[in-house]
Amino acid sequence: MTQPGLFGIVHSNRNFADQENWGKNCFNSSFPIALCCYMSHMNISPVYISIDKKLNVKHGKVSVSQLFGITSNSSDLFFGFETVYSPYQNLVHGIYYSADVVLSNKITKHQFRCFEIKLTALPDNTTCSLSDSEFSCEIVVRPSTIAFVALSIANYIYNSGLVQVFSKLLSPICSPIQNWQDKNEILIHLSHFKQGMIDVISCLLSQKERTYTQQPLVIQPVWKTVGKSSTLHDNCLDTFVWSDLALILLPLNQMNTSRRIQNVSRSARTIIWLIKMLYDFITNGQINIAQVIDMLTYDTKNDKAFAASGRVTHSFLSSPELTQPRIKKSEIKNIILNGGQNLLSPERRFDAIIVNTPGLF
């Protein structure tokens, strides 16, 4: 008898015959990878969101094989969920976060890609009352995702011999800070942090000899419902991929640098984290990620870096694929295989039960 499984995930550290690997946290990272593999099988490329030298959003298409760095149906492909991505480990001092999924060669164990995954509902509650073309998704970003952005940039700075170039950019911003944990001192410098991040991105993309290659970092599948209901739309699934620098535009664009504000927002804190991590790397050769995230809280929990509602993400995601996703709900049975749906353990939310109980009212 064939075991339950997900399309394309042949070798991984999750055994899909075990129900524990179908829980919400596992499914939300496993299913998107299976969706990517299925899209590759159907010759459908995810939408790739990146930015140009002027920090404008660009849309392109990236094949799943390009995204994975290996043919998606390769017999050598191994998916390591919640796994440490070792190529950056020498850049880190102390605790190093795991990625949602790390792709590696199952024979040589060589790791060549890591991704964070965000499975998101379309529309969210800020866009569900708008027209279909204005629907979009909320995205919630973890601190670990920000760490991967910093490490990708730090790795480039080191390998390109540009430590001094970026030191000249960041030292005037960072060296005057006496106490990074002092919210009042940080508030005074918010505009400098924002401009500093803009300058860093511009410098990365303007190097003549070796321009920074944006890295695909966040895989964001969307599942579309009929308006606000819990009914899946006929065209219900598609996948968007964010480059590391495109993702940073989200908090950067939301960052308020007015002198009148009295608190450091999550978006502003995300940019501060990034600047501090890069400055620490330039100064010390390594980044103490956990220390930066745990100490620079500014009276806000650090369980997430920042969130952006659908009204904010729409300008990034807006596309024919967002309005009409390319994978139909009738195809879900081609992605969840051999009775895997019977092992799912959805959360029993009372509001969902009320709405979906016929005759209750």
pLDDT tens digit sequence for 249-261 = 999 999 988 878 8
**Which of helix, strand or coil describes residue 156?**
helix
Give the residue extent of every domain in the chain.
5-333
Tokens of 270: 């995300």
Placement of tokens 């940073």 in the chain = 248
Tokens of 172: 């005037």
pLDDT tens digit sequence for 270-322 = 999 999 999 999 999 999 999 999 999 999 998 999 999 999 999 999 999 99
Tokens of 142: 């973890």
> Considering the chain, what is the average pLDDT of its residues?
93
pLDDT tens digit sequence for 51-75 = 999 999 999 999 999 999 999 999 9
Tokens of 193: 């942090």
Predicted local distance difference test score (pLDDT) of residue 97: 87
Is the pLDDT at 229 greater than 90? The verdict is no
Predicted local distance difference test score (pLDDT) of residue 237: 96
Smallest Cα–Cα separation from 306: which of 293, 322, 315, 287? 293
pLDDT tens digit sequence for 177-215 = 999 999 999 999 999 999 999 999 999 999 877 889 999
DSSP 135: -
Categorize the per-residue pLDDT at 148 as very low, low, confident or very high, splitting at 50, 70 and 90: very high
DSSP 89: G
What gap in Å lies between CA 236 and CA 273, rounded to an integer?
A: 36
**Which of helix, strand or coil describes residue 237?**
strand
Smallest Cα–Cα separation from 340: which of 12, 11, 13, 15? 15
Half-sphere exposure of 280 (CA within 13 A, CB side): 21
